[in-house]
Structure 1
Amino acid sequence: MPHIVGEVMTREVVEARRETSAGNVAQLLYRNRISGLPVVDGDDKVVGVISETDLIRSQSARADQGRARRLRIPPLRRSARRGAALARATTAEDLMSTPAITVHPEQRVADAARMMERHGVERLPVVDEEDRLIGIATRRDLLRVFLRTDEEVSREILDGVVSRTMGLPPHTVFVSVRDGMVTLEGHLERRSDIPLLLRLAYRVDGVVGVINSLTFRVDDARPSDKPSASGNDPA
């Protein structure tokens, strides 16, 4: 059964408020040995996320502003505006990245991991149906589920997906897995079975991607060119 975010998330969350000072944010990160935290409003709704990178960029922007003033370097429009904003950052609201990428506890761990990869983030705030913060899912939390060998993933796809769920005969599909990347090869009877098999394989915990090398005998996905039963041309 697929794991869900609520099973692996950390419920004790280190958080900041909009008005939390930049110095206190840095202390929270250092004291708790974490690399980022969510920012919440008065209703505990997540409004942004701050990472160590945001703090570093702010410090760098201040240094660049000071250097530009000393050397009288003319500013570039867009980068200068962003740099000036970071240089003036004094609160969590000034520093945070928005909008925050969040997940719900009932979402699958595999989907959350792929979301992290897609957005290039290390943690995902977990929110309830009213978008209130209830936990945090870090890359480390999600990796606990993905500590599966390629052989285990291959076996689950063959036994659980190909044989039991799809009911395909043995040796119809050949599965190879390398670092979570699955390759499916074989010859199916119907073309319509291929997208279903790909979706089911993709949903197996530990799978990070699926390569389709399947072929088919009957193209049942093509619309029929036969005339209608009445013999009349379609309207």
Structure 2
Amino acid sequence: MKNLTVGDVMTTAVLTARPAMPLKEAARVLHDRHISALPVLDEDDRLVGIVSERDVLLAQSAPIPRDAHWWEAPARRDELRRRSGDTVGHVMTTKVVTTVADVPLARAARLMNRHGVKRLPVLDEAGRRLVGVVSRTDLLRAFLRSDDDIRADVRGEVLVHLLWQDPTAVEVEVVDGVVSLTGELGERSTAEAAERLVRRLDGVVDVVSHLTWRIDDGGLARRR
């Protein structure tokens, strides 16, 4: 059963910036292209940071404190650097949370939530080159699948290919992503497995199982 990955939904035509790009130019690109951030690449095309609308606005709106000194704590110096520069390299965020193309969408969503970010630069398998960007909007595509597509996966992927069951033995109803399963299968463990596998399908919001079985083999717990 193949779930959608970051590579399936990411944007590959990515606009990027260089550290030497003037802030005004970066602001113009963000505004004209209706995007909220730009990955920043060095001269070897390696990801070195990300500059967002917030970074640009902070630099433009926050005055430099008069009590700023070189011996300030690292976090404080970083803040002052970002508030005093006039290029992307001065204001960009350098600690960038990234991912790779084969990561499942659910894991990417958890990563975004954990770090409080709206987008993730996608690197190649070597972790060096930028191959795309995935945003929260991209992740939502997994939940916008039609009920008909979900129903087809329940029958074809779960019942036939994974469980080797007769799909006509189970009535599958899908309404707004909620899957209802009704019918009789051979074993209790198969019925439990069907419910669990359906829950893992992209776009499934919930599963209501009315499945029964002819043989109570103790279920999945006993098989373990």
Q: What interval of TM-score do these two structures reach, taking the shorter chain for normalisation? A: 0.5 to 0.7
Distance apart, 1:118 and its partner CA: 5.5
2:134 to 134, 137, 145: 137
SS of residue paired to 1:33: coil
> Which residue of structure 1 aligns with residue 33 of structure 2?
32
Percent identical = 36
Do the aligned partners of 1:48 and 1:100 also contact (CA within 8 Å) in 2? Answer: yes
1:100 to 88, 96, 101: 96
The 1:202–1:39 alpha-carbon spacing in structure 2 relative to 1, beyond 3 Å, is: farther
1:157 to 154, 157, 161: 154
Cα deviation 1:66-119 (Å, max 9, x = unaligned): 7xx7xxxxxxx9997776454324443443334323232344456545644555
Q: TM-score, length-normalised on structure 1?
A: 0.61
Aligned residues: 209
Distance apart, 1:128 and its partner CA: 1.1
Cα deviation 1:173-204 (Å, max 9, x = unaligned): 876554x5668799984559747853x33543
The 1:152–1:41 alpha-carbon spacing in structure 2 relative to 1, beyond 3 Å, is: same
Structure 1 residue 221 corresponds to structure 2 residue 221: yes
The 1:127–1:202 alpha-carbon spacing in structure 2 relative to 1, beyond 3 Å, is: farther
Distance apart, 1:37 and its partner CA: 1.2
The 1:81–1:3 alpha-carbon spacing in structure 2 relative to 1, beyond 3 Å, is: same
The 1:91–1:187 alpha-carbon spacing in structure 2 relative to 1, beyond 3 Å, is: farther
> Which residue of structure 1 aligns with residue 123 of structure 2?
127
Gaps of 5+ in 1: 70-76, 225-235
> Which residue of structure 2 aligns with residue 55 of structure 1?
56
The 1:158–1:34 alpha-carbon spacing in structure 2 relative to 1, beyond 3 Å, is: same
Distance apart, 1:46 and its partner CA: 1.9
> How large is the Cα RMSD of the aligned pairs?
4.4
Alpha-carbon distance in structure 2 between the residues aligned to 1:85 and 1:186: 65
Q: TM-score, length-normalised on structure 2?
A: 0.63
Alpha-carbon distance in structure 2 between the residues aligned to 1:156 and 1:52: 40
What amino acid maps onto 2:46 in structure 1?
A: K
Alpha-carbon distance in structure 2 between the residues aligned to 1:204 and 1:43: 40
Gaps of 5+ in 2: 67-72
